[in-house]
């Protein structure tokens, strides 16, 4: 697998100043802006639910959405007998898509009750190829929350039981996995009855957080009033939150199976899960037909609403990123004298100081790019390591005369910085890596475009 265009990764002295940092706030879906940050989907429910999704003006005029008292309300029609496609409801999909994120949802109330199927989740393009992450989901009178991934073939989660507090129910994330129900995915459930539905609401709500990185996807839950102090702040730090309720890692290349995720709230009825699972107390109390109950009993859905205290999305971004605009894009700067190139039979180990770097020869040219280093890597039949104490960039020799891949970019001292030209980010998003580029499989293209765009920027990447 190779690039068809050169990617310049330049280490300079004073362009875009970047350093490794924790999470910082990227998007605040506050009550004042909440609905303007979502699209209202009105298509027929893809899960076969007995539901009629409304557009924003109709939902607002019918009282299904509001932002009174600083809370976001997303509800359903609990007044009228349903007809046509089903009970009136709302499905929201964020206008923005994310690649890696920490999503924190503080809920005062969630939908609950027989016939309901609420979900707070994310999904990528070309389902299931772009992946799906279910953060909050359940049906009917379910007592605990379901947390699930849905993917194309080749992804499974098999974390050790000591790594999470919930219960793992299935392991293969593929929607058509053998020995699992259709679209079951790999899933966990919480063990506390205050994590979903009526128990959640009676306990004063709670907070869910989903962290998505290249190495894992994990979901945390805290009952009302018990979330860590930083979880709802501007600089949350999941490393101090203890074990998650669910963690998805193992035999799955996260960046191949999850991309461009849109945040979604929906509230459907019956359908392929709630309808199929209709039975038990719901059937005993309300008859044998889920659809008939939902159609003819509007008052049963007065508790079927989301009440959102806050929704925030964070990115693991540098503490400072003052990149110039495209109009003022700078030319490549001269490489500092401290930077050198060394050949080696194997990738260099991470240095602890400048003294530990290999013997090297200074670069003669005024700039270094992956393409120029590629030629040296080929000549030496091995990787080339660029050191800029204590930052190391290793370029692996390609198997052909096309482009190499970046093997690693890392910094042994987070206080140091790696400077990358703004033009690199623009190249990564250009048509050079558009779908169907010759010789580049789309999943691999998306994976490495995201890796370079995100991880090179934070000076920590592995390919």
Report the candidate in 355, 359, 344 with the shortest Cα–Cα distance to residue 389: 355
Quick check: 330 and 41 in contact, CB under 8 A?
no
| Backbone Cα Rg of the chain | 25
Report the candidate in 443, 444, 448 with the shortest Cα–Cα distance to residue 429: 448
Residue 164, classed as helix, strand or coil, is: coil
Please say if 137 is a catalytic residue: yes
The CA distances from residue 94 to 97, 125, 213, 256, 266, in Å, are: 7, 13, 20, 22, 12
Check 26, 43, 93, 132 and give the catalytic one. Answer: 132
Query: What are φ and ψ of residue 443, in 5° steps?
Result: -60, -40
Check 93, 137, 184, 432 and give the catalytic one. Answer: 137
Report the candidate in 190, 224, 222, 234 with the shortest Cα–Cα distance to residue 102: 234
Quick check: 111 and 99 in contact, CB under 8 A?
no
Report the candidate in 28, 53, 24, 51 with the shortest Cα–Cα distance to residue 41: 53
Q: Is 86 left (phi over 0), alpha (psi -120 to 50) or beta?
A: left
Please say if 184 is a catalytic residue: no
DSSP state of 333: P
The CA distances from residue 169 to 145, 148, 151, in Å, are: 12, 10, 16
- Give the Cα-Cα-Cα angle 391, 392, 393 (nearest 5 degrees): 130
Buried b (16+ CB within 10 A) or exposed e, 45-83: bebebbbbbbebebbeebebbeeeeebbbbbbbbeeebe
Active-site positions read: 132, 137
């Amino acid at each position: 697998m190779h690039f068809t265009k050169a990617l310049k990764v330049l280490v300079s002295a004073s362009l875009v100043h970047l350093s490794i940092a924790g999470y910082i706030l990227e998007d605040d879906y506050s009550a004042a802006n909440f609905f303007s940050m979502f699209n209202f989907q009105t298509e027929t429910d893809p899960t076969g639910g007995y539901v009629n999704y409304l557009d924003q003006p109709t939902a607002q005029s019918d009282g299904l959405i509001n932002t009174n008292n600083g809370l976001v309300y997303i509800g359903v029609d609990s007044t009228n007998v349903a007809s046509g496609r089903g009970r009136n409801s709302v499905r929201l999909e964020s206008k923005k898509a994310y690649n890696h994120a920490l999503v924190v949802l503080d809920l005062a109330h969630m939908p609950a009750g027989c016939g309901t199927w609420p979900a707070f989740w994310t999904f990528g393009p070309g389902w299931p190829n772009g992946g799906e992450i279910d953060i909050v989901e359940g049906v009917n009178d379910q007592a605990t929350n379901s947390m699930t991934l849905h993917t194309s073939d080749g992804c499974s989660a098999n974390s050790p039981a000591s790594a999470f507090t919930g219960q793992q129910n299935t392991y293969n994330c593929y929607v058509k996995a053998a020995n699992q129900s259709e679209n079951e995915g790999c899933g966990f459930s919480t063990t506390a009855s205050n994590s979903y539905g009526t128990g959640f609401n009676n306990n004063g709500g709670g907070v869910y957080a989903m962290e998505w990185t290249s190495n894992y996807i994990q979901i945390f839950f805290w009952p009302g009033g018990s979330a860590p102090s930083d979880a709802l702040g501007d600089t949350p730090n999941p490393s101090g939150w203890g074990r998650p309720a669910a963690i998805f890692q193992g035999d799955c290349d996260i960046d191949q199976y999850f991309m461009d995720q849109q945040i979604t709230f929906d509230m459907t009825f019956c359908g392929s899960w709630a309808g199929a699972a209709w039975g038990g107390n719901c059937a005993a109390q309300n008859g044998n037909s889920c659809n008939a109950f939902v159609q003819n009993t509007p008052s049963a859905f007065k508790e079927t609403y989301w009440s959102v205290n806050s929704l925030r999305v964070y990115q693991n971004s540098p503490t400072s990123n003052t990149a110039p605009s495209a109009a003022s894009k700078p030319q490549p700067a001269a490489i500092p004298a401290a930077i050198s190139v060394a050949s080696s039979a194997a990738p260099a180990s991470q240095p602890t100081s400048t003294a530990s770097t290999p013997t090297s020869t200074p670069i003669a040219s005024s700039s270094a790019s992956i393409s120029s280093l590629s030629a040296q890597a080929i000549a030496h039949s091995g990787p080339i390591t660029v050191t800029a104490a204590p930052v190391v960039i290793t370029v692996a020799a390609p198997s052909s005369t096309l482009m190499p891949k970046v093997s690693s970019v890392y910094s042994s001292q987070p206080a140091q910085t790696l400077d990358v030209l703004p033009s690199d980010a623009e190249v990564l998003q250009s048509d050079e890596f558009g779908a169907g580029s010759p010789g580049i499989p789309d999943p691999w293209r998306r994976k490495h475009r995201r890796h370079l765009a995100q991880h090179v920027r934070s000076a920590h990447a592995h390919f």
